[in-house]
A = this chain, B = another copy of it.
Amino acid sequence: MKKVVPIKVFRHRLLILDQRKLPQEMVWFEAQRAADVVYAIRHMLLRGAPLIGIAAAYGFYLEIYHEIKKGRIPTLAFAKRLKQSLDKSRPTAINLMWATELMLEAFRKLREKNKPGEIVNQLFAQAKFIQEDDAQRCAQMACEALVYLEKNLPRQKYRVLTHCNTGALATGGIGTALGLIRLLQQKGKLAMVYVGETRPYLQGARLTTWELFREKIPVTLVVDSMAAFLMQKAEVDVVVVGADRITRRGDVANKIGTYSLSVLAKHHQIPFLVLAPESTYDGRLTFGHEIPIEERDAHEVLSFHGLKVSPPVKVKNYSFDITPRENITAIITEKGLFQGEPAFSSARATSPSISIS
């Protein structure tokens, strides 16, 4: 079965698969303007750092397209505000700001020529490039990660633990961590994928299981807190996750629960890999604690599909956490091993089962 497509692109609108309703229903949300895309990102109709960037790029395009259709070329100030409004939709994933920056830059250059048709065409092409480029990055990343794994942790077959959703529903291609998992399956080298359900939003239980189930990839769903017990029972060969932002030092923001897995993996001497495209890198930040961590509404934890679970108590609902470089065996991008700034290279975790070359 072909992998699922999370967005459908047209010149005057963007159709977004409402991931909140998966896997029960395939409902498409129509975005005509940037504000619709902001809504879709903020309310989690779509998620996943690379995909958010792609959607934001199309949102930027759509807004300019509609302005130009009205007969006016927007000012640069308008475009900057547009970027800001898109950037604010989710604060942690840097791919979002990276993609809107590319769009703003393209617009800045195009605007000088003062040709409305060309602005529209070129901005559309730029957004489409960001999407297709991400697909290639995914493929390349999976390849690099497989080479790394076979060299540093040779196994007949791998039992992989992953978290959240990092697949076709989170990127422009086969995914980051899930891209590697797909490649392992293709090569006959995958024994089992353990996926944590990823509370509170259940991206693991709803989305990752669904992607893998459709493609007949062996998957076992577990509650997040069971990962440690699986490791104790020696059921996990390697942990592979994605990233929402990576600092110069190599600290990683990713879905809440990632840091927990990194500590558990370290304790059990299991390699912990982060897969992310270079667009996830934030060269302005050094340490993980500098990354803004989104806190979402209490109701995501207190209720379930509108059903009240708990009394109205206080909730802490960080959407992401920070994994320090020390807990990560390797960060792998489409270019291979991410080394981080040389000044911080000693921070790298080494695992007895992986000798880093």
- Chain B residues with CB under 8 Å of A226's CB are 256-257, 260, 316, 318, 321
A interface, size bucket: 35 or more
A191-208, CB < 8 A from B: 194, 196-200, 202, 205-206
- Chain B residues with CB under 8 Å of A308's CB are 24
| Minimum CB–CB distance for A200 against chain B, Å | 5
A263 nearest CB neighbor, chain B only:
B267
Once the chains bind, are A310 and B206 in contact (CB under 8 Å)? yes
A327 nearest CB neighbor, chain B only:
B267
Q: Does A7 contact B (CB under 8 A)?
A: no
- Chain B residues with CB under 8 Å of A218's CB are 314
| Minimum CB–CB distance for A188 against chain B, Å | 19
With A223-B199, A225-B224 given, is the CB distance from A206 to B309 under 8 Å?
yes
Q: Does A5 contact B (CB under 8 A)?
A: no
With A228-B321, A232-B322, A263-B264 given, is the CB distance from A223 to B313 under 8 Å?
no
Chain A's interface: helix, strand, loop or mixed, by majority? mixed
- Chain B residues with CB under 8 Å of A256's CB are 223, 225-226, 229
Q: Does A39 contact B (CB under 8 A)?
A: no
Q: Does A305 contact B (CB under 8 A)?
A: yes
| Minimum CB–CB distance for A241 against chain B, Å | 12
Q: Does A84 contact B (CB under 8 A)?
A: no
Interface-central residue, A198, A212, A313, by most chain B CB under 10 Å: A313
Interface-central residue, A210, A212, A213, A229, by most chain B CB under 10 Å: A229
Once the chains bind, are A257 and B223 in contact (CB under 8 Å)? yes
A262-302 to B contact mask, C-beta < 8 Å, 1/0: 01101100000000000000000000000000000000011
Once the chains bind, are A210 and B259 in contact (CB under 8 Å)? no
Number of this chain's copies in the complex: 2
Give the CA-CA distance A28 to B194 in the complex, in Å.
38
A306-343, CB < 8 A from B: 307-318, 321-322
A321 nearest CB neighbor, chain B only:
B229
With A229-B256, A318-B226, A321-B226 given, is the CB distance from A213 to B311 under 8 Å?
yes
Once the chains bind, are B311 and A220 in contact (CB under 8 Å)? no
| Minimum CB–CB distance for A351 against chain B, Å | 16
Once the chains bind, are B222 and A315 in contact (CB under 8 Å)? yes
With A197-B199, A197-B301 given, is the CB distance from A221 to B314 under 8 Å?
yes
Q: Does A230 contact B (CB under 8 A)?
A: yes
Q: Does A304 contact B (CB under 8 A)?
A: yes
Known A24-B308, A228-B321, A266-B267; 20 more pairs at CB < 8 Å: A23-B311, A196-B225, A197-B199, A198-B225, A205-B302, A205-B309, A209-B310, A212-B313, A220-B314, A221-B313, A221-B315, A223-B256, A224-B224, A225-B257, A228-B257, A228-B260, A229-B321, A232-B259, A260-B260, A260-B264
